[in-house]
A and B are shown apart, each in its own frame.
Chain A
Amino acid sequence: MKLRLESVKITDVRFGSKTSISNGILYVNKHELNDLVCADENFTNVNIEIVKPGDNARIVNVVDVVEPRCKISGGSDFPGVLGKIVSAGRGTTRALKGMAVVLCDRHHHWIHSKALIDMTGPGAELGRYGKMPNLVIDPIPNGEIDDLDYAYSVRRAGFKAAVYLAGAAGADQVEDVEVFDTETIHPDLPRIAYFYQIYSPQHDPKGIPDPIFYGSPISLTLPLVVHPNEILDGAVLSGYTIRMMETYSIQNHPIVTELFRRHGEDLNFAGVVLGVCSMEPIRRTLGAVMVGNLVHETLKADGVIMTKPLGGAPNVDLGVAASECEKLGVKTVLLLQLLNTGAALDSEVLFNDPALNAIINCGIIFETQELPELKKIIGGTAETPVFNDSCKQLAGQPIVVEKRFICGCLNQLGASTAAAVEY
């Protein structure tokens, strides 16, 4: 499988009469985009805003961030969500680099499931998206709507916008081309696989799983082998609740892209096993045994790096899967986030198999950050609640939030440089 990813560098985003790109500036015809994304009975209207680094603005109710991308050939856009289901990861995809589409959901009020983006101040310093221009898609709900139905509408609107914007880039504007494939094998280099636990049913809103794999829910799926290109090319998406694994970070997956980069240099990228956290012990054991077998027998890996979604159950699950790999002689490295600020670096891991002696510290998510009052609130109003422990502070005030709510600050997939340090 071969994916050609063409990049067009964007330095600024502005509204204009025609959606087009000129000298790195993306001009957006607001009416045309509005007609496209507003065509949904769940919306009365869609606010479309542009924010730039340095703006005195805070985006709230953020449920996902997407990099603008469209298929040029050999596939469909966000298959299973927008396009028909064909394999992602083949053909040519064009991406706008250096900007993002931010999706806001004003409708649902599930606790601890949204994030914010500050465009100035400490929030902008800490988060990835405060440092780039963003186009914000902020629909207004049309009366009483089912939360999940609405969440799906927001996602479709955001992905449509992402495809529409990327479609403005012409072939002559492509500045960089990367080709992702692992067809050449280097027998002298170790085979490294990636186990990517993409979901935990503990977070299913209303007990209904999020459709995050080709637009389908895979809560009860046993581990499966996918091609890494599929992950980069829109097959795997963020859930409805953001939880530090936004779609932008999946499209630019830090482990998948790094393994590709090193393929042929100091390793062979052996492939990817996808998994879902199990909620009960028999299934957990079965899942772990299958991860071990797929990594060892099918991918024939010497080593596997493993990540998890937010939650304690995935931490246990990942540990059991890693133990199965080590039993088969496959070396493991696990990426884990820490939770408790009052803990120590040897008390936050939920397993104790001595073979699991290589763990990466991905930062502490409950550390709090003071953020100043910002003038403009996007994606909500100055009265929009911003979640903290008591759920009482409002977006238009100076606030204190845990780092996990600053979008792009911490990341489950290893995109962040933050690590927890004992003080």
Chain B
Amino acid sequence: MPHTDAATVALARDGDSEAFRALVERHSRAVYRLAYRMTGNAQDAEDVVQDTLLKAYKQLGRFESRANFSTWLHRIAVNCAIDMIRSRAHRESAHDTADLDMRHADQGISPGSASPERLMLSAEVQERVTAGMSALSRMERAAFVLRHFEGHSIEEISSALGLKTNAAKHSIFRAVKKMRLALEPLAGSTERLAGTKG
């Protein structure tokens, strides 16, 4: 199988299913990570991966060989995740910050429990970020991921998620505040962590 995506895509476009399999093997993990970030759970992320790859297969003819395959696939995955989030939005019951406080209590992490070891601190930050992300409602998560990780403007996000601009903006505000609340107990430690990075 060719090493470059462009050559592999060309074979797949000619009906070589092994070539498409190679593309699946190369890219499905990255699509999963993006999908998980946007949907917040493994089951939905797997469905998004499936939809994305199926859609990519159907649209291979439209892929321009000069473009980057992973960027193209990434875009399809974002759209598939948005479709799923929009279709399920009405079933969503938003968590509130009280959930987050409860989660902190359940995890038994006290504000002063930061570890002196950088690695341990990093793991704790990761845990806090995960807790913060899981406290976001479906729309807050989608809006935040699209703004923070994908670099979309608030205008674009409101249009993609079918929200008014103000609603998209407030989803992002709420998401950032929840993330801040999740990381607050480690505030001093993240400052030190940031200091050691430079």
Instruction: Judge: A and B partners, yes or no.
Output: no
Interface residues of A (CB under 8 A from B): none
Spell out B's residues near A (CB within 8 Å).
none
